[in-house]
Chain A
Amino acid sequence: MFPIANNVRAEREARGMTQSELGAAIGLTRQTVAAIEQRHYSPSLEAAFRIARLFEKSVDELFRWEDDPPPEPMLFSLDRPGI
């Protein structure tokens, strides 16, 4: 098992997508999506960004080192003017 944990399965299920649908949307096979979710395969940086873009999340919200705690939800963003 790879040391990079991820929330891909939770985010996919929250959107009611199947593994095949997610794979088709980002150019991966269903088997590869299953392997990513089970931490048997670490996706490339490009695939990680594709997944993050599809789910409208940042990469570090989806993928983290297994020892690191899950990221806190962001209350504000520095790139929004006036905040």
Chain B
Amino acid sequence: MSFRYKSALLSLVSMAAVYGWFFTTLMLHKFGGRHFNPIVSLGGAVVALAVIQIAGHIIIAGTSSDKYGPPDERERAFDRRATTVGYYVLIVGALAAIATLHLGFNAPDLGHAVLLAIVFAECTRQLVFLIAHHRAT
């Protein structure tokens, strides 16, 4: 496995885990009445993601011989394809976030919906990158 493959896998898993926890807790607060401080939780999620990413990339770099090499044409093609798909997911997510206003949700909910759209688009981008690697290996 190349360094960029491992990096994409780490980003996908860590984002899904950290923001999965954040949005699950948010839903429990919203619909289950569980105590939740969104600012503290979001700050904690961002810090946790940064720590996981930095530590994970240090470990990955230690086990990859190609960590200093630039991406070649095949990896750039994968990245272009993944970014294109991620862009469309982001557009759909942004429109869905705007739709929450018309469904009676408030401004913080709109913010959370935008964040969910960004996270979902980024996870999709990493997933498409990984799938492209698997299909052309």
Is B106's beta carbon under 8 Å from chain A? no
- What are the residues of chain B within 8 A of A27 when measuring CB–CB? 72
Q: A40-B136, A40-B137, A41-B136 are contacts. A32–B66 as well, Cβ < 8 Å? A: no
Question: Are B66 and A35 neighbours in the complex by a CB distance under 8 Å?
Answer: no
Give the number of residue pairs across the A-B interface with Cβ within 8 Å: 32
A-side interface residues, number (CB < 8 Å): 15
Q: How large is the interface on B (under 10, 10 to 19, 20 to 34, 35 or more residues)?
A: 10 to 19
Question: Are A47 and B137 neighbours in the complex by a CB distance under 8 Å?
Answer: no
- Output the least CB separation between B81 and chain A (Å): 13
- What are the residues of chain B within 8 A of A31 when measuring CB–CB? 2, 74, 137
Q: Which of A7-38 contact B (CB under 8 A)?
A: 23, 27-32, 34-35
Question: Are A28 and B74 neighbours in the complex by a CB distance under 8 Å?
Answer: yes
Question: Are B137 and A29 neighbours in the complex by a CB distance under 8 Å?
Answer: no
Question: Are B66 and A30 neighbours in the complex by a CB distance under 8 Å?
Answer: yes
- What are the residues of chain A within 8 A of B73 when measuring CB–CB? 28, 32, 43-44, 46-47
10 closest A-B pairs (Cβ-Cβ)? A32-B74, A28-B72, A40-B136, A41-B136, A29-B72, A44-B73, A32-B72, A31-B2, A35-B136, A41-B74
Q: Given A29-B66, A32-B72, A41-B136, list of 6 further CB < 8 A pairs?
A: A29-B72, A31-B2, A31-B137, A32-B75, A34-B137, A40-B137
